[in-house]
Chains A and B, each alone.
Chain A
């Protein structure tokens, strides 16, 4: 048995490779990026394809196509990426899968690198798709191996839900021998794969039936089990944990020297019989799950009949934020009326050290020139987007007024122009533009909307570690021209400190034009220049 030191992300990647993967698809996003990067690194060794996709929706559709031809496919993204891929994901829940199909999605409780804490388990239950929640790197590996088989046995896509602390933590993982070929050929059942209403009215009840059978699987699978305390502090109290919640509760039990019965859940749908068995004789349960109160909401439905429920909804463990051992110690101590160990804290006020744009970053020069141009042009608003350049919102630049989600800048600037804002400016990177700015720009070009779009072409998707974007330089220029942008108002600047005045004048002239302008600020990310030097 091969033992490897792996991040949780990498454990998912290694498991997919060992499962006889046909192809890896994905769009980068912290904390999911390393799943794909690991698969990309080992693609030729194992003989599968691994190519970054333009966005998460595209990635999921490509994976679905791979599944259609009978091959095993994995698609990786962060939690908010699943919003982008929601359409094919939910539809595939109705249609099902052929070759094993896994969506490996990494949630970010605590928002270390994200705009929200949304919990992907809701998508799984919404789409009637089974969901694994690993607690350890070893489980991330074992569950991924099992998920491919489950996907083929039940003909369903599967969600592998990671959280930051699994995705970005390393441990030693024991790997299993590779799978045999799944023996599947190309699908040829249009009744199943053409989601016409007449078919869907038959497919949807079948999907619900499949989900019920998955519920039975959940009753007996090894990831869901009651873990009785050897010496319970209170037999009427119990704790229900999901995924990583288990780890923190076990740590708290050890530190506090106290324990009660635990129901451990790692596979959804929630098994009702196992749950009922656990709740028998319990007057109070605490839920400890990272993310939203997913299981808690379902158990609260028993209110009045069942035990009292402590968790996020009543504020007992806190409504928001990542779980950690401190929170577990505090919650277990309060739940079981146990004494908490005291630690002597040092009290010092320390200035924050937030992330910032790298010294020499081209975005700084674009924002500086833009700020200069806007000084005499008001009212103006700068709609920006998701990427390193979002840091332009912070002092000293204070250069952007909004950032919502991937591609929002272009649509919001257009809407603001239609609402009468005199100087609407959209600013986004090449990667984000190609992810979901293209269609919005096509609309603005058709209307010749009076707005200015600045594309920060640094040649890469920098924030997530410099993955290739789909088009840069001359190719990006021709893509933008091809969308119908007036060539007289499609400009290029070199964002450099020496060109500040010249760039500000050009941006100002385009701001004054009462139609659509696109300015491409082209200079390579200094991180990739650095990477190339050390390569």
Chain B
């Protein structure tokens, strides 16, 4: 078993937290694990990327080569496009639909969706904002996207749920429950983007 996963988003959206949830789940399942992230300046509303590698064999390096990732999980649609070339031709994209328009030249959403359609990969979208709101808080959008991607990660959803519990344990039972709800609802709300 080997999964190379790119997590993309905008600084402040919680990509690293998603990576840590996957990490805990991978370790729970006894897999080797590497996760690389970039801190610092890019956290101030810039494009951010976290790479996650899972394998039952030795993992040589912390980074994934271009064109070799199995899965791209993006918390923002333009950032999904930006990282597209990491994916292998058989790779899958799962992206949130809500744009973060903190740049003056953000393209029209139709253009972004059109380019996602034409990227030649299988793309799933999720209205994570609405799902997270229904689950109890828009802050859980990252977990809703993780839910939408859950079936492509190659880990047992139950193990990922444990990872979520661990990450939010310090914030109390209500926050844990809400995030688990966002995860479960996210799993149900992933929609395939038809080409």
B42 touching A5, Cβ below 8 Å: no
Q: Is A144 an interface residue (CB 8 A)?
A: no
A346 touching B60, Cβ below 8 Å: no
B89 touching A344, Cβ below 8 Å: yes
In the complex, which residue of chain B has the Cβ closest to the Cβ of A135? B61
Q: Name the segment of A162-170, A300-308, A422-430 touching the other chain.
A: A162-170
B44 touching A346, Cβ below 8 Å: no
Q: Across the interface, which residues of A come within 8 angstroms of B41, CB to CB? A: 30, 112-113, 355, 463
A250 touching B40, Cβ below 8 Å: no
Q: Is B154 an interface residue (CB 8 A)?
A: no
Q: Is B17 an interface residue (CB 8 A)?
A: no
* B62 CB to nearest A CB, Å: 4
Q: Is B122 an interface residue (CB 8 A)?
A: no
Q: Which applies to chain A's interface (DSSP): helix, strand, loop or mixed?
A: loop
The answer to whether A5 and B24 touch (CB under 8 A), given A113-B41, A251-B61, A353-B46, is yes
Q: Name the segment of A13-21, A122-130, A324-332, A447-455 touching the other chain.
A: A324-332
Q: Across the interface, which residues of B come within 8 angstroms of A355, CB to CB? A: 11, 41-46
A346 touching B103, Cβ below 8 Å: no
Q: What 0/1 readout, one digit per residue, does chain A (318-361) give for beta carbons within 8 Å of chain B?
A: 00000011100100000000000101111010111111111000
Q: What 0/1 readout, one digit per residue, does chain B (49-77) give for beta carbons within 8 Å of chain A?
A: 00000000000111111111000000000
A166 and B10 CA atoms in complex are apart in Å by 22
**Central interface residue in A31, A348, A353, by most chain B CB within 10 Å:** A353
* A505 CB to nearest B CB, Å: 30
Q: Across the interface, which residues of A come within 8 angstroms of B89, CB to CB? A: 343-344
User: Within the complex, which residue of A255, A350, A356 is in contact with B82, where a contact is CB–CB below 8 Å?
Assistant: A350
A460 and B27 CA atoms in complex are apart in Å by 36
A326 touching B115, Cβ below 8 Å: no
Q: Across the interface, which residues of A come within 8 angstroms of B138, CB to CB? A: none
Q: Is A244 an interface residue (CB 8 A)?
A: yes
A182 and B157 CA atoms in complex are apart in Å by 48
Q: Is B3 an interface residue (CB 8 A)?
A: no
A112 touching B60, Cβ below 8 Å: no
Q: What 0/1 readout, one digit per residue, does chain B (23-48) give for beta carbons within 8 Å of chain A?
A: 11001000011111111111111110
* B54 CB to nearest A CB, Å: 12
B60 touching A329, Cβ below 8 Å: no
A164 touching B35, Cβ below 8 Å: no
Q: What 0/1 readout, one digit per residue, does chain B (102-138) give for beta carbons within 8 Å of chain A?
A: 1101110000000100011000000000000000000
Q: Is A402 an interface residue (CB 8 A)?
A: no
Q: Across the interface, which residues of B come within 8 angstroms of A226, CB to CB? A: none
Q: Across the interface, which residues of A come within 8 angstroms of B35, CB to CB? A: 169-171
Q: Across the interface, which residues of B come within 8 angstroms of A166, CB to CB? A: 62
A142 and B45 CA atoms in complex are apart in Å by 36
Q: Is B193 an interface residue (CB 8 A)?
A: no
* B140 CB to nearest A CB, Å: 14
Q: Across the interface, which residues of B come within 8 angstroms of A171, CB to CB? A: 33-35, 62
Chain A: interface residue total (CB-CB under 8 A): 46
Interface size, B (range): 35 or more
A324 touching B63, Cβ below 8 Å: yes
* B25 CB to nearest A CB, Å: 12
The answer to whether A31 and B34 touch (CB under 8 A), given A165-B62, A351-B105, is no
User: Within the complex, which residue of A165, A343, A353 is in contact with B66, where a contact is CB–CB below 8 Å?
Assistant: A343
The answer to whether A5 and B61 touch (CB under 8 A), given A31-B40, A353-B10, A355-B45, is no
In the complex, which residue of chain B has the Cβ closest to the Cβ of A248? B61
A353 touching B78, Cβ below 8 Å: yes
Q: Is B176 an interface residue (CB 8 A)?
A: no
Q: Is B84 an interface residue (CB 8 A)?
A: yes
* B119 CB to nearest A CB, Å: 5
Q: What 0/1 readout, one digit per residue, does chain B (1-21) give for beta carbons within 8 Å of chain A?
A: 000000000110000000110
A171 and B19 CA atoms in complex are apart in Å by 12
* B113 CB to nearest A CB, Å: 12
B62 touching A169, Cβ below 8 Å: yes
Q: Across the interface, which residues of B come within 8 angstroms of A247, CB to CB? A: 60-62
Q: Is A118 an interface residue (CB 8 A)?
A: no
User: Within the complex, which residue of B40, B61, B102 is in contact with A353, where a contact is CB–CB below 8 Å?
Assistant: B102
Q: Across the interface, which residues of A come within 8 angstroms of B79, CB to CB? A: 353
A528 and B153 CA atoms in complex are apart in Å by 35
B65 touching A329, Cβ below 8 Å: yes
Within 8 A of B (CB), among A96-125: 112-113
Q: What 0/1 readout, one digit per residue, does chain A (458-476) give for beta carbons within 8 Å of chain B?
A: 0000011100000000000
Q: Is A51 an interface residue (CB 8 A)?
A: no
Q: Is A172 an interface residue (CB 8 A)?
A: yes
A33 and B103 CA atoms in complex are apart in Å by 29
The answer to whether A351 and B45 touch (CB under 8 A), given A247-B61, A254-B60, is no
Q: Is A391 an interface residue (CB 8 A)?
A: yes
Q: Across the interface, which residues of A come within 8 angstroms of B11, CB to CB? A: 355
* A71 CB to nearest B CB, Å: 30
In the complex, which residue of chain B has the Cβ closest to the Cβ of A353? B47
In the complex, which residue of chain A has the Cβ closest to the Cβ of B107? A351
A172 touching B33, Cβ below 8 Å: yes
Q: Across the interface, which residues of A come within 8 angstroms of B36, CB to CB? A: 165, 168-170
Q: Is B81 an interface residue (CB 8 A)?
A: yes
Q: Across the interface, which residues of B come within 8 angstroms of A254, CB to CB? A: 60
B38 touching A348, Cβ below 8 Å: no
The answer to whether A358 and B81 touch (CB under 8 A), given A5-B27, A351-B106, is no
A345 and B84 CA atoms in complex are apart in Å by 8
Measuring CB to CB, which residues of chain B are less than 8 angstroms from any residue of chain A?
Answer: 10-11, 19-20, 23-24, 27, 32-47, 60-68, 78-79, 81-82, 84-85, 88-89, 102-103, 105-107, 115, 119-120
**Interface pairs (13), CB distance under 8 Å:** A30-B41, A112-B38, A165-B36, A170-B35, A248-B63, A324-B65, A329-B65, A344-B67, A348-B115, A351-B106, A353-B103, A355-B42, A391-B44
Known A344-B120, A352-B47; further 19 A-B contacts with Cβ < 8 A: A5-B23, A30-B39, A112-B38, A112-B41, A170-B35, A170-B36, A171-B34, A172-B33, A255-B68, A324-B65, A343-B66, A345-B66, A346-B84, A346-B85, A350-B82, A353-B79, A355-B11, A356-B44, A463-B40
Measuring CB to CB, which residues of chain A are less than 8 angstroms from any residue of chain B?
Answer: 5, 30-31, 33-34, 112-113, 164-166, 168-172, 244, 247-248, 250-251, 254-255, 324-326, 329, 341, 343-346, 348, 350-358, 388, 391, 463-465
10 closest pairs, A vs B, by CB? A343-B67, A113-B40, A30-B40, A247-B61, A355-B46, A325-B65, A355-B44, A169-B62, A250-B60, A169-B36
